A and B are shown apart, each in its own frame.
Chain A
């Protein structure tokens, strides 16, 4: 696993906090201004940045991120431009923060998985999340990423049976992304009651940190999870805040969620 990710989770733990993995869409509203959003989220306390690369057909995303993808594509965000123009700039402004790309498998395949892994590592990306690439299909891509030291972060779902969840956790790179709800990305008023048990199970099997994501939008939804996970991912709520009120709003929301992550 990437030493950078390791350190970031350890730093949060040492401060007695769950880690905040903060997602925003590269290129929303345009490439330079999305850099401001990422930097603001780190100022607000984000421990890891998840840089969304838009795909035209985002089947794992709810309306907020779908709309952000459409805006980013209109602004000309391609994987290549995100790696060339967004990632190095975010890296420069937030040198301590590990950067992870989240996109769909077709976008990476179009660039070529080896070419992507190499470029990503050169630009300072430590991990990649592909929500439409289940373990059965991931061997080839994972080997290409492993070669460059880019972690292919696996996902685990509420519908994943226990034995399969354990296998995913045991075999994970970077961290395990536990999807909290059966559904697409987006804010939820409530998270399922059995989420904590599932997180405990995955945590027992995993040798890397475990985070919960999907549906978490504020300090209240984050708070009960810190006893069971090493951190949380927040996406739609941040994308929505940044779209409505700019980087400062995303920073504010990160700070609020970080308060909820105090142990």
Chain B
């Protein structure tokens, strides 16, 4: 199965819906990226930095106690939480910042929701010596204090965005507006597999290292490909990175998990694949949460990284064509999964990742014994401890008080 039907298109989705001012910059980026891909030294440099600095390949951990607790498929964890800065986001920022440097850009801007992409961009900028500005919704600045500190410590300037819902979508609007004004010498590092062409392709390619490793690691450990892979979906970069290399392997089930927030029927969620309609947001045509008048609706999720009313165009295409199954998990499901994983495997997953775990339990059971399920552990939960602990911590397990 091929997903590209035209340049920058994934079926009906994708494209480049941006102000004319940005079109030449996107054409320049497309060309620079095509050249970089043909240049073996670029790929080698990305691979070297991922190995020496990021800590790739990340391990594929057998989750023995979860497997036993769930009583179904054998569960494996792809440990993006063990990558430097604590999430998959760094795979993409290393690649894009190296590309920006190759293009001779003088400064970097980025948007961030949970702050993980901001931290990953600030980190790559520190590593390669480029100045960095990160746009972040003012509400997220409050919710993600640890990551705001980390970005500042790494030398980045954090610019709180007060417009709209003061979250990720507004940070992305603002980054685009600033990019329009400074497009000649500025590179915009988009953090998910969304935005105008060629970003969804570039981000997917840099994140596909996750899926390629899963492929090699499962072949080495179980002697075959896994039966299913599951990942959470905000904009969709960790999901497309883990799943893309398996698109032609139709025996492998690909599963994406969206934020159901307070419940799909509550209207407060981030489930754009499940409940979104076709529209244009942030430069691409995809599935978006909008009202009948085409106004974008505010998304909600306990996890800032899934609190986005759009989704990358390639995932929209995979979902619509049925190649990817879409499930949802609520805030409460994610919190319960967070503690379950913490207490059965000794891993504190990010709240985003906790959504994938929440949906993985029933998937593992449906699959049954003898099957292999890989959960993409997109990030670690340190950034979320304030949000989670504010709701009270359940008592210790197995200890008499």
Contact = CB atoms under 8 A, between A and B. Distances in A.
Interface of A: 55-62, 66, 70, 73, 78-80, 104-111, 131-134, 136-137, 154-161, 164, 168, 179, 181-184
Contacts of A179: 19-21
Contacts of A79: 293-294
B177 A62 contact: yes
Nearest to A133: B17
Contacts of A107: 293-295
Contact of B296 (A57, A109, A137, A164): A57
A66 B283 CA distance: 18
Nearest to B163: A66
7 contacts: A55-B295, A59-B282, A79-B293, A106-B290, A110-B279, A179-B20, A184-B177
Contact of B279 (A80, A109, A134, A183): A109
B2 interface: no
B247 interface: no
Interface residues of B, number: 36
B24 A106 contact: no
B21 A132 contact: no
Nearest to A77: B293
B173 interface: yes
* Interface SS of A by simple majority: loop
A151 to B, nearest CB: 17
Given A59-B173, A60-B180, A62-B177, A134 B295 contact: no
A155 B294 contact: no
A54 B390 CA distance: 38
A56 B292 CA distance: 13
A109 B279 CA distance: 7
A136 B23 contact: yes
A156 B16 contact: no
A136 B293 contact: no
- The winner among B25, B164, B295 for most chain A CB atoms within 10 A is B295
B281 interface: yes
Contacts of B164: 56-57, 70
Contacts of A159: 20-25, 183-184
B279 A137 contact: no
Chain A CB count within 10 A is highest, among B15, B177, B184, for B177
B21 A106 contact: no
A132 B180 contact: no
Given A57-B164, A59-B282, A111 B177 contact: no
Given A60-B180, A110-B293, 4 more contacts: A107-B295, A109-B294, A159-B25, A182-B182
Contacts of A104: 280, 294
A150 to B, nearest CB: 18
A5 B297 CA distance: 36
Contacts of B173: 57-59
B347 interface: no
Nearest to A181: B181
Interface string B14-38: 0111111111110000000000000
